[in-house]
């Protein structure tokens, strides 16, 4: 399978390795990146619990995202080998990216990447590390977002990021550090975004390049955003409703990734909300909730880019935050 990245030189090899990694992780993998979704792919409510685990989580080397953007048209990886970048949600970025900038600046969006088993010093060869994305909170009291992305930001974790065994709820399946470059893959990645809701990506790939002193990192991320996941996330731009409402009614755009091998599915809007869904085999599924019906497994390709700076996770958030 050929891969290309338009926006970064020298990353073709990295994306090829990521795709090979993801192929090993996905069950039922077939041509044209069609996979058999997990049971409950469309219907499982992945909202985290809001109770503290009876233990103290351990954190490793941490970074906070200081820039997040959906890549523009013509940029992103070619995941299906047709010679074109796969980033069907590029137009969504025209509305959403300004919201990401504002949300990071005012401290409403705090995304933290934490690496367990980080070697010191970093060897020249490959080493496997643990990787988790967390939704964090400012450790300042009262919260002061001015230092969040300064490199000295300090953050706490809502207990809902962990299970009762104190393990993170959404660890990535694999992450490999090689010098200043890291590649990571995860079949399912879920996090909670304030103002949007619980976001779930599947078949996710990430490439990271660290600065010489590892104080900063630039990243590219490619994923599939399922129709169910998009129907649960509120649109951060000027249009009211969910992400899927915007795609179906404003952009009138359909999924481009056939995840269950029965042909591409469709989501039909009524001008404001969702009227019905059409499964890949042509079966109509009526109703506002049809995107989360188990037969609706398809999604939209999306490519993100951004950067992150060093941060410190000091522990769990105090009760009530």
The tens digit of pLDDT for each residue in 244-279 reads 998 999 989 999 999 999 999 999 999 999 999 999
The matching CATH number, chosen from 1.10.3470, 1.20.120, 2.40.160, 2.60.120, for 59-222+301-316 is 2.40.160
SS3 (DSSP) at 231? helix
Q: What mean pLDDT do residues 71-78 have?
A: 90
**What is the reported pLDDT for 241?**
84
Residue 8 has pLDDT above 60, yes or no: no
Structure tokens at 119: 């070697």
In angstroms, the first-to-last Cα distance of the chain is 46
Q: What is the pLDDT of residues 46-71, one digit of tens each?
A: 444 455 566 789 999 999 999 999 99
State which of 18-27, 78-87, 195-204 shows the largest mean pLDDT. 78-87
| H-helix segments, the chain | 12-25, 90-105, 227-232, 243-245
Q: What is the pLDDT of residues 105-157, one digit of tens each?
A: 999 889 999 999 999 999 989 999 999 999 899 999 899 999 999 999 999 99
Residue 18 has pLDDT above 60, yes or no: no
Exposure string over 140-150, b if 16+ CB within 10 A, otherwise e: beeeebeebbe
Structure tokens at 114: 């934490």
Bridge-based pairing of strands 299-316 and 153-157 is: parallel
Residue 194 has pLDDT above 80, yes or no: no
Residue 126: enclosing H or E segment and its boundaries? strand 126-128
**Cβ(112)–Cβ(311) under 8 Å?**
yes
DSSP string, 47-91: PPP-S--SS-----EEEEEEEEEEPPTT-SB--SSSSS---TTHH
Least confident of 108-117, 208-217, 231-240: 231-240
Residue with tokens 């951060």: 236
Q: Where are the domains of the chain?
A: 59-222+301-316
Q: What is the pLDDT of residues 76-88, one digit of tens each?
A: 888 778 888 999 9
Residue 1 has pLDDT above 80, yes or no: no
**Cβ(305)–Cβ(221) under 8 Å?**
yes
The set of long-range contacts for 270-275, using a CB threshold of 8 Å and a minimum separation of 24, is: 272/241, 272/245, 273/241, 273/245, 273/249, 274/231, 274/244, 274/245, 274/248
**What is the reported pLDDT for 195?**
56
Q: What mean pLDDT do residues 229-233 have?
A: 87
Residues 6+ apart with CB under 8 A from 246: 92, 95, 235, 237, 239
Question: Which band of pLDDT confidence, cut at 50, 70 and 90, is reported for residue 15?
Answer: very low
Q: 81: buried, middle or exposed (CB in 10 Å: 19+, 13-18, 0-12)?
A: middle
* Residues 151, 98: Cα–Cα separation, whole Å: 23
**What is the reported pLDDT for 236?**
62
**What is the reported pLDDT for 197?**
61
**Cβ(99)–Cβ(126) under 8 Å?**
no
pTM: 0.80
* Residues 56, 68: Cα–Cα separation, whole Å: 30
Residue 91 has pLDDT above 90, yes or no: no
Residue 28 has pLDDT above 60, yes or no: no
Count other C-beta atoms under 10 Å from residue 172's C-beta.
Answer: 21
SS3 (DSSP) at 12? helix
Count other C-beta atoms under 10 Å from residue 121's C-beta.
Answer: 6
């Amino acid at each position: 399978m050929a891969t290309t990245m338009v926006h970064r030189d020298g990353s073709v090899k990295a994306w090829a390795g990521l795709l090979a990694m993801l192929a090993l992780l996905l069950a039922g993998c077939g041509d044209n990146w069609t996979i058999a979704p997990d049971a409950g792919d469309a219907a499982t409510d992945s909202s985290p619990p809001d109770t503290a685990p009876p233990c103290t989580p351990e954190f490793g080397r941490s970074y906070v995202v200081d820039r997040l953007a959906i890549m523009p048209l013509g940029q992103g990886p070619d995941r299906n080998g047709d010679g074109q970048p796969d980033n069907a949600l590029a137009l969504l970025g025209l509305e959403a990216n300004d919201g990401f900038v504002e949300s990071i600046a005012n401290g409403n969006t705090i995304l933290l990447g934490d690496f367990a088993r980080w070697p010191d010093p970093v060897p020249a060869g490959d080493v496997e590390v643990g990787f988790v994305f967390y939704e964090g909170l400012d450790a300042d009291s009262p919260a002061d977002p001015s230092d969040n992305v300064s490199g000295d930001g300090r953050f706490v974790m809502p207990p809902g990021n962990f299970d009762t065994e104190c393990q993170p709820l959404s660890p990535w399946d694999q992450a490999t550090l090689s010098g200043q470059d890291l590649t990571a893959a995860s079949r399912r990645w879920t996090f909670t975004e304030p103002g949007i809701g619980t976001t779930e990506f599947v078949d996710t790939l990430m490439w990271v390049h660290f600065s010489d002193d590892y104080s900063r990192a630039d990243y590219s991320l490619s994923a599939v955003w399922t129709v169910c996941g998009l129907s649960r996330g509120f649109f951060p731009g000027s249009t009211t409703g969910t992400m899927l409402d915007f795609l179906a009614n404003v952009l009138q755009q359909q999924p481009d990734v056939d995840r269950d091998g029965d042909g591409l599915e469709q989501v039909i809007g009524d001008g404001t909300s969702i009227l019905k869904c059409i499964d890949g085999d042509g079966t109509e599924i009526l109703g506002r909730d049809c995107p989360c019906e188990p037969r609706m497994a398809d999604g939209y390709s999306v490519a993100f880019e951004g950067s992150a700076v060093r941060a410190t996770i000091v522990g769990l958030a105090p009760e009530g935050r």
